[in-house]
Amino acid sequence: MKILANDGIDPIGKKMLEDAGFTVDTQNIPQDQLATRLQEYDALTVRSATKVRKDLIDACPNLKLIGRGGVGMDNIDVDYARSKGITVINTPAASSLSVAELVFAHLFTGIRFLEMSNREMPVRGDSAFNDLKKNYAKGVELRGKTLGVMGFGRIGREAAKIAIGLGMNVLAFDIFEFNPEVEIQFADEQKMIFKVSSVTKEYLLKNADFITLHVPAIDGKPVIGTDEFAIMKKGSAIVNCARGGVIDENALIATLDAGHLAFAGIDVFENEPTPSKAILSHAKISLSPHIGAATNEAQERIGVELAQLMIEALS
């Protein structure tokens, strides 16, 4: 049985599949060639780059399984595939910590003006060092501040754990009922349970110093737009490492330009892989190119979990 890992798979996961008797091909087939060349494979694995839409599914009746290495399956027509008898799986837990850590990379970048100083230091650092030192000398600390976690699933919970470890207060909101208790594991194997505050969306927006988003867009519409930005605290900040389109990017730029928000951290964009130039060039936005799950540890966990699920499903 042949598997195409079109967006790659960790070597450990690949070996697990091969040891189970599968042939694994890691070449990347361009999207416009998939309908033709996918005919020779029984299963397909993707990350976020490859799109598996209705037309591709219809063109490949040989497919028995589609695996998504990661959390969201926005790039797959899941219900349609399943209606055709195709098994669709993903790895929702494997990358949670990596995404949560990236959230705090953006937060630390913003509170210490690194997104701006990293742009100016190469240009003016040797001629205006003292001016830059003065410009960026009013940073703040995260300890004692309030983090609003919008979407309290696996990644949101990991973000809350990091925040608690830093001494932050945590407000959590989700449209689904959730357990407000989180267990934090320390390096010496000690564990402690903490309880976060479960609040409404409006309360979170009004009272959080920093907001991290871990929700999908609803019916293709942004979750955070002009109205939501208007009720956020002046001087607060927002990070989106969830999905492109969750934030109205035009409204974000307008809010930053008006001075209402201090900064934003963006890992995912409305128009990937060609994000808006206005977003990419904005001095108050910390940027990364959709790398939330892109750590060596997360990719290994994803590969192992994906391989295990595929072996179970295809056997």
Domain boundaries along the sequence of the chain? 2-91+296-314, 96-287
- Residue written as token pair 């005919």: 39
Cis peptide before 273 (omega within 30 of 0): yes
Per-residue model confidence (pLDDT) at position 30? 96
Q: What is the pLDDT of residue 183?
A: 97
Looking at residue 268, its pLDDT comes to 96
Label residue 174 by pLDDT band (50, 70, 90).
very high
Tell me the residue length of the chain.
Answer: 315
The three-state secondary structure class of 94 is coil
Mean pLDDT of 267-292: 96
pLDDT of residue 71: 84
Contact 216, 243 (CB under 8 A): yes
Q: What is the pLDDT of residue 109?
A: 98
- Tokens of residue 209, six digits: 């110093």
Q: What is the pLDDT of residue 94?
A: 93
Percentages of the chain per state (helix, strand, coil), in multiples of 5: 40, 20, 40
pLDDT of residue 74: 87
Q: Is there a shared CATH topology between the 2-91+296-314 domain and the 96-287 domain?
A: yes
The answer to whether 47 is a known catalytic residue is no
pTM equals 0.90
Q: Is 181 a catalytic residue?
A: no
Structure tokens at 9: 């798979």
At 291, list the tokens: 């790398």
pLDDT band for position 138 (50/70/90)? Answer: very high
Residue 145 pLDDT greater than 90, yes or no:
yes
Averaged pLDDT score across all residues of the chain = 96
Q: Which residue is it, tokens 């042939």?
A: 23
Q: Which helix (H) or strand (E) holds 60?
A: none
Contact by Cβ (8 Å): 238, 232: yes
pLDDT > 90? residue 92: no
What's the token pair of residue 142? 């995260």
Indicate which residue of 115, 290, 301, 305 is catalytic. Answer: 290
pLDDT tier at 303, thresholds 50, 70, 90? very high
Answer yes or no: 272 catalytic.
yes
Catalytic annotation, pick one of 18, 181, 272, 312: 272
Q: Which fold has domain 96-287?
A: Rossmann fold (3.40.50)
Interatomic CA distance for residues 21 and 44, integer angstroms: 16
Q: Return the pLDDT at 72.
A: 82
pLDDT reported for residue 93? 86
Distance from C-alpha of 229 to C-alpha of 39, rounded to nearest angstrom: 48
Q: In terms of DSSP H, where are the helices of the chain?
A: 11-19, 31-37, 54-59, 78-83, 96-111, 114-124, 129-135, 154-165, 201-207, 226-231, 249-257, 277-280, 296-314
CATH level 3 topology of 2-91+296-314: Rossmann fold (3.40.50)
Burial-class residue 277 by CB neighbours within 10 Å (0-12, 13-18, 19+): exposed
Res 219 pLDDT > 90: no
Residue 315 has pLDDT above 90, yes or no: no
Residue 277: pLDDT over 90: yes
Tokens for 104, please give them: 């705090």
3-state secondary structure of 76: strand
| Segment 257-269 mean pLDDT | 98
Amino acid found at 163: A
Alpha carbon distance 174, 180 (integer Å): 11
**Encoding tokens for residue 245?**
């389109």
pLDDT above 70 covers a percentage of the chain that reads 100
- Does residue 134 sit in helix, strand or coil? helix
105, pLDDT greater than 90: yes
Q: Which of 214, 243, 282, 301 is catalytic?
A: 243
Give the tens place of pLDDT for each residue, 116-125.
999 999 999 9
pLDDT at 150 over 90: yes
Q: Which residues contact 50 (CB under 8 A, 6 or more apart)?
A: 6, 7, 31, 34, 44, 75
Position 303, amino acid:
G
Write the pLDDT tens digit of every residue in 34-81.
999 999 999 999 998 899 999 999 999 999 999 999 888 989 999 999
